[in-house]
């Protein structure tokens, strides 16, 4: 992974203001998304804005291509074909060789997985849990150093459309979601049995009381705020809903992040890491995931050739 020193972002705020025509913002504008970590967020936020502005024309053509060819659907179907049936809620432990330098197997609740090389792609805290009894405490602590925000995503299947807008970013500290995305303003409702699909994303610390809401409590919470934006919205519009939760949804890039984010290597000669927290200074994205996937494959192959 290529790392850039924090000084790389020293003048990015002013440049971004010139590009976007926006006033300089401070950490207060981030509090609607993540109150507990707003003060420690680095200029990574500015880099995100600059990158988004730089690639908007290309993204528009990419979105059209995905819509025309079903590229995203093909990607999702391919991923599902690779997904083990027992992939959820596993207990995993690593078994080392006699010298303790390589991993010889991963033991799961459903059996033992043996391999030549091991690539770990979950979030750092999950990797730390898997390897906590195999690796030294200092390295495990370095994995746990990276902080994360959780995410709660409410997906609504509706009888009617909320608006004509596909992706609506909300920069209002009083509105508890960073965006209202009506997917069927991008894809056709006919592909969803004529229903309208919208979702609301909320990033939050898992210590936030909202994280403990039941699905029904979260639905009621969301609808009360949605009605402020769409006064005609009624519960009768909702055919069904689903709440999705992810504990490690967004790595928090604090000041000096490039100095402490773990790299690809591990204490073991045949174990490697590639995950979304290593996509930096860019933000998460499918393009970057594919890039990193190719890079780690080349890295592992080169290691093999050297041994």
How many Å apart are CA 168 and CA 171, to the nearest integer?
10
Residue 70 confidence (pLDDT): 53
Average pLDDT by stretches of 10, the chain with 307 residues: 38 40 40 53 54 50 44 60 55 78 88 90 95 94 96 97 94 90 94 95 94 97 95 96 95 92 96 94 83 94 87
Q: What is the pLDDT of residue 277?
A: 95
Please report the pLDDT score of residue 242 as a whole number: 97
Residue 49's pLDDT is what?
54
CA distance 44 to 65: 29
Q: Which CATH superfamily is domain 148-251 in?
A: Protoporphyrinogen oxidase, mitochondrial; domain 2 (3.90.660.20)
pLDDT, position 306: 86
Minimal CA–CA distance to 115: which of 306, 305, 304? 304
pLDDT for 217 equals: 98
- Cβ burial 77-106 (10 Å sphere, 16+ → b, else e): eeeeeeeeeeeeeeebebebeeeeeebeeb
For position 40, what pLDDT does the model report? Answer: 58
Is the pTM value of this prediction over 0.85? no
Q: What whole-number distance in Å separates Cα of residue 23 and Cα of residue 151?
A: 28
Residue 94 CA to residue 114 CA, distance in Å, equals 10
**Residue 3 pLDDT:** 39
């Amino acid at each position: 992974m290529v790392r850039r020193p924090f000084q790389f972002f020293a003048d990015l705020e002013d440049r971004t203001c010139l590009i976007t025509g926006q006033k300089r913002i401070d950490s207060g504008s981030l509090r609607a998304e993540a109150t507990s970590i707003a003060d420690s967020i680095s200029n990574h936020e500015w880099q995100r804005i600059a990158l988004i502005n730089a690639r908007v024309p290309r993204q528009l053509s990419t979105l059209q291509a995905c819509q025309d060819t079903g590229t995203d659907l093909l990607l999702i179907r391919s991923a599902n074909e690779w997904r083990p049936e027992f992939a959820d809620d596993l207990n995993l432990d690593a078994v080392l060789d006699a010298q303790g330098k390589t991993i010889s197997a991963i033991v799961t609740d459903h059996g033992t997985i043996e391999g030549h090389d091991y690539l770990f792609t979950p979030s750092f805290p999950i990797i730390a849990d898997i390897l906590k009894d195999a690796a030294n405490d200092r390295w495990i602590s370095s994995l746990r150093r990276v902080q994360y925000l959780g995410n709660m995503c409410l997906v609504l299947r509706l009888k009617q459309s909320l608006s004509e807008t596909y992706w609506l970013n909300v920069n209002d500290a009083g509105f508890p979601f960073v965006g209202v995305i009506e997917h069927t303003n991008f894809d056709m409702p006919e592909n969803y049995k004529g229903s309208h699909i919208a979702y609301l994303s909320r990033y939050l610390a898992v210590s936030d009381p909202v994280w403990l809401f039941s699905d029904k409590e979260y639905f009621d919470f969301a609808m009360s705020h949605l009605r402020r934006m769409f006064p005609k919205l009624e519960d009768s519009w909702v055919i069904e809903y689903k709440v999705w939760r992810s504990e490690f949804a967004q790595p928090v890039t604090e000041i000096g992040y490039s100095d402490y984010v773990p790299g690809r290597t591990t204490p073991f000669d045949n174990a490697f890491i590639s995950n979304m927290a290593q996509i930096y200074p860019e933000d998460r994205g499918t393009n970057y995931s594919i890039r990193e996937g190719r890079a780690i494959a080349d890295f592992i192959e080169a290691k093999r050739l050297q041994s």
